[in-house]
Amino acid sequence: MGLKRIRVTTKHSPPSSSSSKILLPLALLLITPLVLFVVPPISHLREPFFLIEDHRFHGDLREAHFAWNKLCFGPTFEKLKLAVFSKTWPVDATPGGMEHHASTLFNALAAKGHEVHVFTVPSDRHPHHDIQEGNLHVHFTPNNHGSLNCSLAFEIFNKESFISPFDYVHTESVSLPHWRTKAVPNVAVTWHGVWYEIIHSKLFQELLSDPNSAITAGSDTDLREALPRLVDEIRFFASYTQHICISNSASEVLVNIYQLPSRNVHVILNGVDHTKFDHNPSLGLQFRQQHGVPPNATIVMGVAGRLVRDKGHPLLHKAFSSITKRHPGVHLLVAGSGPWEKRYAELGSNVKVLGALDPSQLVKFYNALDIFVNPTLRPQGLDLTLIEAMQCGKPVLTPNFPSITGTVVVSEEIGYTFSPNVGSFVEACEMVIRDGHKRLHEKGMACKSYAMSMFTATKMTSAYERFFLCMKNSKYCSYPLHTDC
């Protein structure tokens, strides 16, 4: 089945002159390679959309132009010694996406017998003792400002390397600065967002903003500064040996815009622990009762994460205000904290503002929903909340950014997409309401199946393990090996 393309014509006031001067050159920059950001309709499939033929791949993994998560890697008996640079390491209950990714991945690799040394700082910026749990060694190396002290980290790195050399070095985005890579021969970097995508985010935010509002002051400056940062980023990306992207669209940007060799660009999608995020209707019912959701609610939507502008909360706030006027039985659960928390509370009894939830409450929250909404204005990265909701058997409603439509909402069977404007968002919400509980449940179960096939921590860990082995010894680059499933 094909993606439903929602086309909405809306009237906009003419942009301010200062915005026009910025938007025009940015538009010229972005329009030329726009083909990367247009997802063609998906043709009718004769089998479930996630049973794609990439599992029949035979050849060199370095030539694979799809996510390694699609493949089934068997056990290995060779062990690695890995060095990891991460901006922060989670020491509280609500880690950010990048640190959550690092913690999940490298705890799992250590549990598989690989020796892992992480050079980082605590997420709360307070002093903590180093962590040593089995094969996992977390070295906290902060500077006076609480950020990563690369000089101190390299002192420890060199001592460990002298004892026995590292097989490979990994960095979460630019945690290991590019000028430091000269001292390290084998470096792989996982990009959780690149400036080419960030410019799109800032452009969408500018188009949605009120030029006369004090809240959006400074957005023009952000746009002016974005282009030089993009050029600088393109120039230094080649300093890293190998590049791992967390969406298919990001890999296309790195090859076609940043002009990196395709053999050095790989896709490994994020994953979450499916044993912690699972479909459990009884938990959801309890959560609804606990937070006063009426039993006769027509549709219960939910959003989670930081309640800030670039996460799309101005968009959701306006759209939901419109929806409740026509559909008073629709309710919204808001899990998170931030500047927009108070604004949501002003919308009345149809909105329940829950504050930040710990993981044990978050799984109950997801199960309480009919559909999970992610209104983000950030085309970069792959939001873990989408994956968590899908693992809990919930369909998703999200913007039609390439990082999402090319990787997450790959079919209308699992969710709904909209253009990042209020009119399109409202129309997508209307479609959700028309489809109703039964259809949403069907889509949710399809979400669960797809998430289990692609977005588990186990699949992610196996892919990274094979990647590091491949980089150490090219025999592991062949697929399938006799041990592969």
List, for residues 38-89, the tens digit of each pLDDT value: 444 333 333 455 555 455 899 999 999 999 999 999 999 999 999 999 999 9
416 assigned to some structural domain = yes
pLDDT digits (tens, 9 = 90+) for 223-240: 788 889 999 999 999 999
pLDDT digits (tens, 9 = 90+) for 145-193: 999 999 999 999 999 999 999 999 999 999 999 999 988 888 999 999 8
pLDDT-derived band of residue 211, with 50, 70 and 90 as boundaries?
Answer: low
Hey, what are 38's tokens? 């247009």
- Dihedral (CA of 191, 170, 465, 389) sign: negative
Hey, what are 32's tokens? 């030329």
By the 8 A CB rule, do 395 and 386 touch?
A: no
Q: Which helix (H) or strand (E) holds 83?
A: strand 81-85
Q: Rounded mean pLDDT of 102-122? A: 97
What pTM did the predictor assign? 0.87
pLDDT of 22 above 80: no
pLDDT-derived band of residue 205, with 50, 70 and 90 as boundaries?
Answer: confident
By the 8 A CB rule, do 296 and 330 touch?
A: no
- Per-residue pLDDT at 296: 95
pLDDT-derived band of residue 37, with 50, 70 and 90 as boundaries?
Answer: very low
Residue 207 and residue 124 share a domain: yes
DSSP letter at 334?
E
Residue 137 and residue 225 share a domain: yes
Instruction: Please indicate whether residue 392 or residue 218 has the higher confidence score (pLDDT).
Output: 392
In whole angstroms, what separates CA 235 from the centre of its chain?
24
By the 8 A CB rule, do 36 and 253 touch?
A: yes
Instruction: Please indicate whether residue 398 or residue 221 has the higher confidence score (pLDDT).
Output: 398
Instruction: Please indicate whether residue 357 or residue 14 has the higher confidence score (pLDDT).
Output: 357
DSSP letter at 266?
E
316 assigned to some structural domain = yes
Name which of 120-134, 156-170, 208-222, 410-424 the model is least confident about: 208-222
Residue 427 and residue 445 share a domain: yes
Q: Which domain holds residue 157?
A: 53-270+457-479
- Per-residue pLDDT at 338: 95
pLDDT-derived band of residue 431, with 50, 70 and 90 as boundaries?
Answer: very high
Phi-psi category of 173—alpha, beta or left, where left has phi over 0 and alpha has psi -120 to 50? left
344 assigned to some structural domain = yes
φ, ψ (nearest 5 deg) of residue 354: -100, -15
Name which of 143-147, 203-207, 279-283, 388-392 the model is least confident about: 203-207
How many Å apart are CA 107 and CA 260, to the nearest integer?
Answer: 30
Q: State the Cα torsion 10-416-339-220 to the nearest 10°.
A: -50
Domain count, the chain: 2
4 assigned to some structural domain = no
- Per-residue pLDDT at 55: 55
Mean pLDDT (the chain) is: 88
30 assigned to some structural domain = no
Residue 60 and residue 160 share a domain: yes
Residue 234 and residue 93 share a domain: yes
Residue 466 and residue 422 share a domain: no
Environment class of 235 (CB within 10 Å of its CB; exposed 0-12, middle 13-18, buried 19+): exposed
The one-letter code for the residue type at 262 is S
- With a CB cutoff of 8 Å and minimum separation 6, the contacts of 31 are none
How many Å apart are CA 410 and CA 41, to the nearest integer?
Answer: 10
| 74: CATH | 3.40.50.2000
- Per-residue pLDDT at 301: 99
Environment class of 193 (CB within 10 Å of its CB; exposed 0-12, middle 13-18, buried 19+): buried
Residue 299 and residue 266 share a domain: no
- With a CB cutoff of 8 Å and minimum separation 6, the contacts of 9 are 423
Nearest to 410 by CA among 390, 428, 431: 390
Q: Rounded mean pLDDT of 293-320? A: 95
Residue 304 and residue 245 share a domain: no
- Per-residue pLDDT at 89: 96
By the 8 A CB rule, do 299 and 432 touch?
A: yes
pLDDT-derived band of residue 326, with 50, 70 and 90 as boundaries?
Answer: very high
Residue 462 and residue 412 share a domain: no
Residue with tokens 């990265």: 381
Instruction: Please indicate whether residue 233 or residue 198 has the higher confidence score (pLDDT).
Output: 233
- Per-residue pLDDT at 182: 86
25 assigned to some structural domain = no
- Per-residue pLDDT at 225: 83
15 assigned to some structural domain = no
Residue 296 and residue 237 share a domain: no
Residue 301 and residue 155 share a domain: no
Kindly state the percentage of the chain with pLDDT values over 90: 74
Kindly state the percentage of the chain with pLDDT values over 70: 85
Residue 316 and residue 364 share a domain: yes
- With a CB cutoff of 8 Å and minimum separation 6, the contacts of 279 are 367, 391, 392, 393, 444, 445, 448
365 assigned to some structural domain = yes
Q: Rounded mean pLDDT of 24-46? A: 44
In whole angstroms, what separates CA 456 from the centre of its chain?
14
